[in-house]
Amino acid sequence: MNRFFEHFSGRTAYFAGQPQAFVLAFLIIVTWAVTGPLFHWSDTWQLVINTGTTIVTFLMVFLIQNAQNRDGSAIQCKLDELIRAVGHARNQFIGIEHLTEAELVGLRNTLEDLAGDEAQRHVAIDRLIARR
């Protein structure tokens, strides 16, 4: 069941991000709008699109979240491996994604302080961009 769901959610998330998915959704909306006069703009006519979009949105939240969770875990593994493999990197950073938000903010502030003042960082970034 898990394997099926992972495969299904991955494929669905991929398809949902394609131009064809947008075109399909757009055509459904246009078709619905064009049929308005046919159904005399009835409450049922409006309920069809409201119900349909609500159901699709509700299900897509779970499918896309599953795909994002897997992508995030894969990226974390890759970053952890880079930290582990680079000689001067600090292995203590492996797994920091499990820290609380307050701990992460504190760590970010500490690292920014170690990097120097903000003006220096902006100058360094500007020089880097200018090299391109």
The band of 111, judged by pLDDT with boundaries at 50, 70 and 90, is: confident
% of the chain at pLDDT higher than 70: 100
**Residue 9 CA: distances (Å) to CA of 21, 40, 54, 67, 74:** 15, 38, 18, 6, 16
Quick one: what percent of the chain has pLDDT higher than 90? Answer: 42
Nearest of 82, 104, 109, 112 to residue 94 by alpha carbon: 82
Residue 1: is its pLDDT beyond 90?
no
Distances (CA, A) of 24 to 19, 27, 29, 78, 85: 9, 5, 9, 35, 45
How is the chain split into domains, by residue range?
2-93, 99-132
Reported as a single tens digit per residue, the pLDDT across 4-23 is 888 888 888 889 989 999 99
Could you give the residue ranges of the DSSP H alpha helices within the chain?
A: 2-16, 19-34, 43-85, 101-114, 118-131
48 band by pLDDT with thresholds 50, 70 and 90: very high
Are residues 115 and 121 in contact, defined by beta-carbon separation less than 8 angstroms?
yes
Rounded to whole angstroms, how far apart are CA atoms 52 and 64? Answer: 18
Decide if pLDDT at 65 tops 80: yes
Question: What is the token pair recorded at 122?
Answer: 């902006």
The pLDDT, as a whole number, for residue 116 is 75
